[in-house]
Amino acid sequence: ESGISSPVDGRSRRTSDSTKESIHYVLIVGVSGVGKSSLIESFRTICGMEATENDRPIIKVTFNGKREEIIFVEEANVGEVTDLDKFSAILTIYTPNDRQSFLQAYSTMKSVRNEFPQLPIICAANKRDLVRNRVIPERKGKEAAQKFQAKHAEVSALLSLKITDLLTAVVQQCHLSGKRERL
């Protein structure tokens, strides 16, 4: 892993005037109820953003000394998205206790990878706290992600488990994609 400054202290370090802010769009996709909104809320919390501060799903972080703004766009189905290439990264979410959500994440990764071989994909299994009802083993999620050259993580928005790692991966992938808008 590269020398990343943790997204956690993102906002407090936005003081260096020498760096410009970049904007990235990230598509967050997954069936209803997997926790898309909860994850965005968790990202905002670890970045120190108040719930009321901004209604738009935006987070601000510092990555390798550069200010980055990430705008999340939520969709239940990637098939609804016509302008996939405007996104810096795709974050696909499933829950390990819902097979249908996993199958959908799988087909999302498959179609994105077919259409855009270079577009970064991060596949996250949310609700790791509910492992007692697990139907998708972690290994299966990892294998699927590997097949489509995606990053994989199991997280819990509820318990704030691995949320910083997940956000770090998202920012890192955005950075790699280089598809950023200069302000």
Provide the binding-site residues for ligand GDP, judged by CB under 6 A: 30, 32-38, 126-127, 129-130, 156-158
- Minimum distance from residue 56 beta carbon to ligand GDP (Å): 15
Q: What is the DSSP string of 108-165?
A: HHHHHHHH-TTS-EEEEE--GGGGGG--S-HHHHHHHHHHTT-EEEE-BTTTTBSHHH
Which helix H or strand E contains 74, and what residues bound it?
A: strand 66-75
Which lies closer to ligand GDP via its Cβ, residue 47 or residue 155?
155
Which pair of tokens denotes residue 120? 């970064």
Q: Which is nearer to ligand GDP, 33 or 48 (CB)?
A: 33
SS3 135: coil
Shortest Cβ distance from residue 160 to ligand GDP (Å)? Answer: 9
Closest separation in Å from C-beta 91 to ligand GDP? 11
Which of 10/35 has CB closer to ligand GDP? 35
Instruction: Find tokens 């009321």 and name the residue.
Output: 52
Check: CB of residue 60 under 8 Å from CB of residue 14: yes
Please give the Cα distance from 111 to 116 (Å, whole number).
8
Residue with smaller CB distance to ligand GDP, 22 or 156: 156
Pairing of strands 89-94, 151-154: unpaired
CB of 166 to ligand GDP, least distance (A): 11
Q: How far is CA 146 from the centre of its chain?
A: 17
Structure tokens at 138: 């972690």
Closest separation between CB of residue 159 and ligand GDP, Å? 6
Output 4 or 81, the one with its CB closest to ligand GDP: 81
